[in-house]
Structure 1
Amino acid sequence: MSKADQREQMTNGAGFIAALDQSGGSTPKALALYGVDASQYGSEEEMFAEIQNMRARIILADDFTKEKVIGAILFERTLGEEIEGRKVADYLWSVKGIVPFLKIDKGLEEQANGVQMMKPIPGLSETLAKAASMGVFGTKERSVIHEANAEGIAAVVAQQFDVAREVIAAGMVPIVEPEVNIHSETKAEAEDILKAEILKQLDTLEEGQDIMLKLTLPTKANLYDELADHPRVLRVVALSGGYSTEEACDLLSKNDKMIASFSRALTEGLSKQMSDSEFNAALGSNIDKIYRASV
């Protein structure tokens, strides 16, 4: 199965993208929710080993299949890890038929102009070359919008598309993720500005320069249909942004042209202490809810 198969699955596949890309900053919180307290690991190495065990348990679960999960986003460190003797990206695609993506951003700058830009991404071209050689289909890079500040939002989107062009040049498909904070008092206004800025940037892309978009579930249902219909956009996916699984799925089901790319909503209610059958049942229930809301 080739890049063309991966592309077909991402463009037309029924299902959602699992976000398994907890990084150094978000791992302690993810582990705490999973029932692993900070006192249970003494070093960063041990912390990353715990989260890798959690990710492997998810990927190996019976319901984590391409019938419902069409793609998965990985943390850079995960590329070097193995499941059943295969590199994780290879295992996902070769064994599970799930398209692998890589989170490439290095976190966020301090807030200015109502937004948080991405920090510089040193060594990006090397990272992209390595990921492409490992069969990774695309990338994900996140910024955050806190207020309806036109200047700030324009800067976030411009930066996102600059990085996206580098990813495209490396032969991969970028997931552009300018998240709007769900607690923003000007969320709806920010989303209108964001949509206009994205449309502006999309029109600068040439044929073959295709992207995906990962956006906060909008206040106005179906706001992003026009983006989903744009010829340069393979797919618009939604982030759960702090909503519970129920809330996120309810909002998603109102947006006809978005599918899920959930992280916390996917792992809600899972714990290390569960037996495998309990774990698989809880994960299976989350996967089913998110799948139904996506299709």
Structure 2
Amino acid sequence: MQQNQFEKMKNGKGFIAALDQSGGSTPKALAAYGVLEDAYRDEEEMFNLVHEMRTRIITSPAFDSSKILGAILFEETMDRKIEGKYTGDYLAEVKGIVPFLKVDKGLAEETNGVQMMKPITDLDETLKRANERHIFGTKMRSVIKKANTAGIKDVVDQQFEVGKQIINAGLIPIIEPEVDINSPEKEKCEELLKVEILNHLNNLSEDEFVMLKLTIPTQANTYKELIDHPKVVRVVALSGGYSREEANEKLKVNEGLIASFSRALSQDLNVKQTDEEFNAALSKAVESIYEASI
């Protein structure tokens, strides 16, 4: 782990860009960018097109370390290059932005009101490659839909169990137990989630640190105790299906919480835009998310 990147994530001003749509969500991300499914014949062509989209975002002058602290990548993106450098190296060396890697393999079926992570069978190998590619940290997502105490405990237990494996590999895990924004029990879910996370944080050893990626809470500053916890490098918020405007407004009233938006970052970008139009749209998005994060 690089100490300067740790300090940047702990104390820097800005937000984290989530560019980690995986195999299942890539067609949706491309469609939102104006590239429809008839534009590619197979998975290889699809991944080529999404890498072109991400390259255009990352190389844009608007994608700048004065506003963006880190970027979360999909495994495919980590193994590809931008201007002759592996994506993580390009982010760190050219842009001064801290690279993260999504490591989960998607969600299991709903049980006890939650969706746990599917088993990550090749995690050790992935973490080894992440270190070779100079990645700073990882991200993994579960989803909570109901205020089921046992289900929420299972989700957090699984997240921290995998998180410890990631810490042992010398990386910082972003633990992401997302609460569904459409859950009728959203606020109750958040109360139960906070208790479970605190239990695990309080049991981390002196040299174990995590980041948290959480849904913006119903009650402002619900997660202040987590944000201030000595074992937490940073707490970031997902947009979770809110529009950028709505996510930004909700984020602003939560002290110390910063954005890690995906769709809300790229919602106004289109493949048909000129570079000038594209950079202007991205700049506007980056500026508004940065303002909401500080």
Q: CA deviation at 1:201?
A: 0.8
Corresponding residue number in structure 2 for 1:178: 177
The aligned runs of 1:35-46 (5 Å cut-off) are: 35-46=34-45
Q: CA deviation at 1:257?
A: 1.3
Query: Could you state the TM-score of these two structures normalised by the residue count of structure 1?
Result: 0.99
Q: CA deviation at 1:175?
A: 0.1
Corresponding residue number in structure 1 for 2:49: 50
The aligned runs of 1:1-295 (5 Å cut-off) are: 3-295=2-294
**How many equivalent pairs are there?**
294
Q: CA deviation at 1:236?
A: 0.3
The share of aligned pairs that are identical, in percent, is 58
Q: CA deviation at 1:217?
A: 0.3
SS of aligned partner of 2:139: strand
Q: CA deviation at 1:200?
A: 0.5
C-alpha distance after superposition, 1:175-206 (max 9, x if no partner): 00000000000000000000000000111100
Q: CA deviation at 1:123?
A: 1.3
Q: CA deviation at 1:49?
A: 0.8
Q: CA deviation at 1:134?
A: 1.4
Look up the equivalent residue of 2:126 and give its one-letter code. T
In the alignment, the residues of structure 2 paired with residue 75 and residue 232 of structure 1 have an alpha-carbon distance, to the nearest angstrom, of 26
SS of aligned partner of 1:72: strand
* RMSD between superposed Cα atoms in Å: 0.7
Moved more, 123-132 or 86-95: 123-132
SS of aligned partner of 1:141: strand
Look up the equivalent residue of 1:251 and give its one-letter code. K
C-alpha distance after superposition, 1:262-291 (max 9, x if no partner): 000000111000000000000000000000
In the alignment, the residues of structure 2 paired with residue 242 and residue 53 of structure 1 have an alpha-carbon distance, to the nearest angstrom, of 24
In the alignment, the residues of structure 2 paired with residue 100 and residue 186 of structure 1 have an alpha-carbon distance, to the nearest angstrom, of 34
Q: CA deviation at 1:80?
A: 1.3
Query: Could you state the TM-score of these two structures normalised by the residue count of structure 2?
Result: 0.99
Look up the equivalent residue of 1:171 and give its one-letter code. G
In the alignment, the residues of structure 1 paired with residue 201 and residue 82 of structure 2 have an alpha-carbon distance, to the nearest angstrom, of 37
Look up the equivalent residue of 1:206 and give its one-letter code. S
Q: CA deviation at 1:133?
A: 1.9
In the alignment, the residues of structure 2 paired with residue 23 and residue 248 of structure 1 have an alpha-carbon distance, to the nearest angstrom, of 22
In the alignment, the residues of structure 1 paired with residue 130 and residue 109 of structure 2 have an alpha-carbon distance, to the nearest angstrom, of 28
Q: CA deviation at 1:44?
A: 0.5
In the alignment, the residues of structure 2 paired with residue 28 and residue 135 of structure 1 have an alpha-carbon distance, to the nearest angstrom, of 28
In the alignment, the residues of structure 1 paired with residue 27 and residue 125 of structure 2 have an alpha-carbon distance, to the nearest angstrom, of 28
Unaligned runs of 5+ in 1: none
Q: CA deviation at 1:55?
A: 0.3
